[in-house]
Amino acid sequence: MVGEILKRIRENKPLVHHITNYVTVNECANITLFTGALPVMAHAEEEVEDMVKFASALVLNIGTLDPRQIDAMIKAGKKANELGIPVVLDPVGAGATSLRTESAKKILDEVKITVIKGNSAEIGILAGMGGEIKGVEAVGKHDNILEAAKSLAKRYGTVVVVTGKEDIVTDGEKVAFVLNGHEYMGRIVGTGCMSASVVGAFVGVEKDYMKAAVSAMSFFGIAGEIAASNVQGPSSFKNAFMDAVFNLTPEEADSREKIRWGE
């Protein structure tokens, strides 16, 4: 499943328009390119509608938000909705400050989101079922995270991805667990942001968004597994990981995907 979508990404090079934070923006651009898609980063209110028109997906990441950026995200999101372009939301740090929580909710209320991708704290908090966050990192274990994800997915009619040891993907009814990945992925800054970019590339070519999100997370995790085999530390892991994303073939992706469908 993963390989077939990956192949389409590499053939069609979907443009993934990002409005994202300035911490991991370079990694997001590179991972998009290495996956096989084309990244573009554009945040000015004066051009986001113009830019998103040509995009196959829009990724909104509130990692270093400010109110003007949120306005641009909503403007771009509404235009994407109008044109049927899928929109991925990464609600980085929702729960850490009220600006982040309220901004994520405002985006969800005003833009039809295709996929929300967050850690267990962000998803739990947006679902109204609590969660503990330190800066932008989920701390502690969330007991009802599957329930929270399903509830959030149903409320907004969206696919929800919860990253973790096992990633959870749900549209409120179906559930899939992605078992690919490696603990090293949590040791570098930007893994979460990059995974949202990869989801953007996948939804850019596959209209079954549940399938696209599951495949994106599996692809991403496989690259992490490959990279982890021979590294000296987190920085060399990051380089190996980026290389692995580029080098991963559709065939190898198919043979390594580990997805468990549940409910």
- Chain contacts with its own copies (rule: CB under 8 A): 13, 15, 17, 21-27, 29-30, 33-34, 38-47, 50-51, 54-55, 63-67, 93, 96-100, 134-137, 187-190, 232-236, 238-244, 246-247
Query: Which one, of 94, 76, 96, lies nearest residue 86 by Cα?
Result: 76
Query: Least CB distance from residue 22 to its own copies, whole Å?
Result: 4
Query: Least CB distance from residue 36 to its own copies, whole Å?
Result: 11
Query: Residue 42 or residue 146: which is nearer to its own copies going by CB?
Result: 42
Query: Least CB distance from residue 37 to its own copies, whole Å?
Result: 10
Contacts of 260 (CB under 8 A, 6+ apart): 176, 177, 179
Query: Residue 64 or residue 144: which is nearer to its own copies going by CB?
Result: 64
Query: Residue 1 or residue 23: which is nearer to its own copies going by CB?
Result: 23
Contacts of 226 (CB under 8 A, 6+ apart): 240, 244, 248
Q: Concatenated DSSP letters for 76-107? A: HHHHHHHHT--EEEE-TTBTTBHHHHHHHHHH
Query: Least CB distance from residue 163 to its own copies, whole Å?
Result: 16
Query: Residue 16 or residue 169: which is nearer to its own copies going by CB?
Result: 16
Query: Least CB distance from residue 64 to its own copies, whole Å?
Result: 6
Q: Which amino acid is at 228?
A: A
Query: Residue 134 or residue 260: which is nearer to its own copies going by CB?
Result: 134
Q: Concatenated DSSP letters for 234-255? A: HHHHHHHHHHHHHH--HHHHHH
Query: Residue 39 or residue 124: which is nearer to its own copies going by CB?
Result: 39
Query: Least CB distance from residue 114 to its own copies, whole Å?
Result: 20
What CA–CA distance (Å, rounded) separates 2 from 105?
31
Query: Residue 156 or residue 202: which is nearer to its own copies going by CB?
Result: 202
> What distance separates the 2 farthest-apart alpha carbons in the chain?
47
Query: Least CB distance from residue 206 to its own copies, whole Å?
Result: 19
Query: Residue 14 or residue 172: which is nearer to its own copies going by CB?
Result: 14
Q: CA of 170: how far to CAs of 84, 110, 154, 263, in Å? A: 21, 22, 9, 9
| Start-end of H helices in the chain | 2-12, 25-35, 48-52, 67-83, 98-110, 120-126, 145-156, 191-203, 209-227, 234-247, 250-256
Query: Least CB distance from residue 101 to its own copies, whole Å?
Result: 10
- Which neighbouring-strand residues pair with 159? 115
Residue 18, SS3 per DSSP = strand
